[in-house]
Structure 1
Amino acid sequence: MTEHINGTNVQHVFVVFNPVAGTRDPEDIRRIFDDAFGKASCTYDLYETTGKDDIVSVVEEALQKNPSLVVAAGGDGTVAAVASAISHTDIALAIVPVGTANVLARELNIPINAERACRLIVEEHTTTQIDAMQIDNQRFFLQIGFGIDSLIMRDTPREEKRRFGRLAYVRTGIGWLFGHNPIRFTLVVDGKRYRPKATQISIVNGGAFGIPFLRWAPDIYPDDGQVDVCIVKARSLLDYFLTFWQIVLGRQRVGRRIQYFTARESVTIHADRPIPGQADGELIEELPVRVRIVPGALKVVVPPEGSSGQQKAPERASAKTVEPAEQPVEVSQV
């Protein structure tokens, strides 16, 4: 469901800003807030995170002032924390992407430029409802991963991310590609049990990788009431290269190195060894975890369809009917 909003109706916003996200000088971002909101006669309250914040409590207190919107200015971790805090309300989330990857902003075609993202908030925009993936009481909105991505995230120093941006992940990733052995996972997807041997398991609510033009698959959307479970079975440098090439060509659902399953209710994951996880750019608890799918959980500000900041999504299929080329071993009903 979408709703068109006149930006002049946005009179007061609450901003959660992570000043250590990304590579830009935080003082520049503060000036952007003053300029964009000041010109629109929109007042705002600013909260800057410290890394030890209880974002839920911070946002709940701010909601007492009835803001028109809540703004998350930071990377995907900051966005996820704020989104989780307001997803039980009817307040819309606006994103000012100033992080390293900014995957959710890219998925929703929100301008990556901070100035343009702020202008979108106070000018004409649309809101859309996106699904959530819930672990315990916390909700995530793009992807949850166990394997190569979480290991790279754990081992990439914040200082390198600030200095090199997304290239910092590449540097760390090269080391893991040579030294990561496949893991035996146990998955329960909407009641069906699978035991694949894989180097990466991702539960994906949106197709964006965080790298322009690359997607997990062309038919994954954050507002369709379901998620994709992506199983990556690459075991050598050649496998990783061929997997990457499949993604570049848009042939992710063809071949034996990536498998996909659709989940509409829940996904439970176990592994044969301790391994960290990542959810929307932040490290989370080790396995096992249970992920519950929550349709239409969050209202988000996005560009109006057809605007320069909005890329028209490809025509979606009525249902995903593509089956994996090879079933994981030991498939049974639970």
Structure 2
Amino acid sequence: MPDNDQQDNGKCVTIIFNPHSGQGDPEERKAAISNALAAHGYTCQYIATTPEEGAREAAATALKQGVDLLAVSGGDGTVVEALAAVMGTDVAVAVFPAGTGNLLSVNLGISRDPVKAADAALFGRRRTLDLARITVDGDEPKYFAIIAGAGFDAEMIAGAGREAKDKLGLLAYVWAALKNLGNGPIRVAILLDDAQRPIRRRVKSVMVANMAHLQGGVELIPGAQPDDGVLDVALLKTERLSEWFRLIVSAVTHSLHETNTIEFYKAHKIKVDLSKTQAVEYDGEAAGETRSFTVEIVPGAVTIMVPKAAES
């Protein structure tokens, strides 16, 4: 149900609001966003997500009402659900980051500060982004904006549940990663575009990315760009503790291409077959388990408002 926080004056931003994202008080978050937009003469109409109606359905409701600017306050999963609803329209989406990871905003230079996020929403520039479409076991396709994977990264995501993230924040992922370090490798066969033969490797994790960075400026997928029309594939072969240490150092020092424990490829379509059933994730959301999935790029799928100073 839409919730108008102020008297309508003709300048209104519709906001898809996930009250369960992040660790703070949702009412305080809502007030901070409203105040930041009110400083520029805008009112807000909030559409809260529920277990029955997620961000995609809420965004579809907003589109039916007619909006020029749609904003989302939530984590990466909430934002990407809303983005999937606006594909094929010229509606721009603004983001007020409120999740645990917020990797989409990290990669696009959007601040968690509601005042700065409001400035990007109202006075920033429009940036066209690709999305990726993932199909798991032939089920209905889903969309992601940042990264999907199977193996170690998905086990880490699955191990960092809502309760752990509420208590520990980003440390929930660190704890889950440590618990899964000892899990053995898997064999994968990866078919890139129209290749006749798959790439076969023994890996810890296979990741398909549309963006490059983690928190703190760490570049996990060197050179990945969210608007270049291609996907980046990373095959993580790290097993021993010493290899993990070198991998972390290489990521922090932006020298991953110099390591031999990770391989990189580019493609428009990637089919992944796994030797055994593995956990799968996309944009930090656990997506169950599978032995096969396919990812395809959707070029120029959506438009997001980013700060004028953000890098292209």
1:234 corresponds to: 238
CA distance in 2, matches of 1:142, 1:258: 19
TM-score, normalised by the number of residues in structure 2: 0.90
CA distance in 1, matches of 2:28, 2:57: 27
CA distance in 1, matches of 2:65, 2:11: 12
CA distance in 1, matches of 2:51, 2:156: 20
1:189-236: CA deviations, max 9, x gaps? 112311111011111111012x21201244211111111100000012
Question: What are the ranges of 5 or more consecutive residues in structure 2 without an aligned counterpart?
Answer: 1-9, 135-139
1:140 corresponds to: 144
Q: CA deviation at 1:54?
A: 4.2
Question: Residues 37 and 104 of structure 1: is their aligned pair in 2 closer, same or farther, counting only changes over 3 Å?
Answer: same
CA distance in 2, matches of 1:256, 1:191: 26
Q: Is 1:268 aligned to 2:271, yes or no?
A: yes
Matching residue within 233, 255, 262 for 1:251? 255
Q: Is 1:119 aligned to 2:124, yes or no?
A: no
Q: CA deviation at 1:95?
A: 0.8
CA distance in 2, matches of 1:234, 1:39: 50
Which residues in structure 2 correspond to 1:89-168 (within 5 Å)? 89-122=89-122, 124-135=123-134, 136-168=140-172
**C-alpha contact 1:14 1:71 (8 A) present in aligned 2:** yes
Q: Is 1:206 aligned to 2:185, yes or no?
A: no
CA distance in 2, matches of 1:199, 1:112: 32
CA distance in 1, matches of 2:55, 2:174: 30
Which residues in structure 2 correspond to 1:1-334 (within 5 Å)? 11-122=11-122, 124-135=123-134, 136-177=140-181, 179-192=182-195, 193-209=198-214, 211-263=215-267, 265-287=268-290, 288-305=292-309, 310=310, 312=311
**C-alpha contact 1:59 1:86 (8 A) present in aligned 2:** yes
- Of residues 191-200 and 51-60 in structure 1, the stretch that sits farther from structure 2 once superposed is 51-60
CA distance in 1, matches of 2:13, 2:126: 15
Length, aligned pairs only: 295
TM-score, normalised by the number of residues in structure 1: 0.84
**C-alpha contact 1:276 1:284 (8 A) present in aligned 2:** yes
Aligned Cα root-mean-square deviation (Å): 1.7
CA distance in 1, matches of 2:50, 2:38: 26
Residue 167 of structure 2 aligns with an amino acid whose one-letter code is R
1:95-124: CA deviations, max 9, x gaps? 1111111000010011122332123223x2
Residue 147 of structure 1 aligns with an amino acid whose one-letter code is G
**C-alpha contact 2:125 2:306 (8 A) present in aligned 1:** yes
Q: CA deviation at 1:285?
A: 4.2
Secondary structure, in 3 states, of the residue corresponding to 1:290? strand
Residue 191 of structure 2 aligns with an amino acid whose one-letter code is V
Question: What are the ranges of 5 or more consecutive residues in structure 1 without an aligned counterpart?
Answer: 1-9, 314-334
CA distance in 2, matches of 1:268, 1:285: 17
